[in-house]
Amino acid sequence: MSTPKSPSRRPIRVLVAKPGLDGHDRGAKVVAAALRDAGMEVVYTGLHQTPEMIATAAVQEDVDVVGLSILSGAHMTLFPRVRALLVEAGRDDILVIGGGIIPQEDIEHLQQKGVAKLFGPGSRTQEIVEFIRSWAEKRAA
């Protein structure tokens, strides 16, 4: 099986981040490992990242995707802030996805704010891999 490629013919680069004060990162680490196993290059920023730190790292690392994981309930503030900072930095081309404990009523609002897809508890890692690959293929076309 070939390595998934972004439009520039390099492996898809994903930054996985834990914004805010959420101290639980097992899910983020599982997703990061699954993306690596799928042939993507993954940068994991660790716990307690500010939106500014995440956006800066995404630009510096020249990633294609930012995956945010949150369980603290601050998703309505932190996810849109990361997206806005990426747009402000001229990187509105970066796909922003998220996961964690996110109530259904918040999902539509976050998608309107530029978060492409949200994965809740019980989401399969293969579903995340397939979503990113599909996005990358459409972007390359």
**Distance between start and end Cα atoms, the chain:** 20
Residue 87 has pLDDT above 60, yes or no: yes
Supply 122's token pair. Answer: 């019980």
Q: Does domain 13-136 have CATH number 3.40.50.280?
A: yes
* pLDDT given at position 8: 52
* pLDDT given at position 5: 44
Residue 2 has pLDDT above 90, yes or no: no
Average pLDDT over residues 24-49: 96
The pTM is what? Answer: 0.92
Instruction: Give residue limits of the domains in the chain.
Output: 13-136
Average pLDDT over residues 53-58: 98
Strand spans (E) along 37-103 = 41-44, 65-70, 95-100
Q: Percent of the chain scored above 90 by pLDDT?
A: 90
Residue 71 has pLDDT above 80, yes or no: yes
Average pLDDT over residues 108-135: 97
- What is the C-alpha to C-alpha distance for residues 103 and 93, in angstroms, rounded to an integer? 26
Average pLDDT over residues 17-37: 94
* pLDDT given at position 89: 98
For CA atoms 112, 26, 129, 141, the dihedral sign is positive
* pLDDT given at position 6: 43
Residue 124 has pLDDT above 60, yes or no: yes
How many Cα atoms within 13 Å fall on the side-chain side of residue 110?
Answer: 25
Average pLDDT over residues 64-84: 96
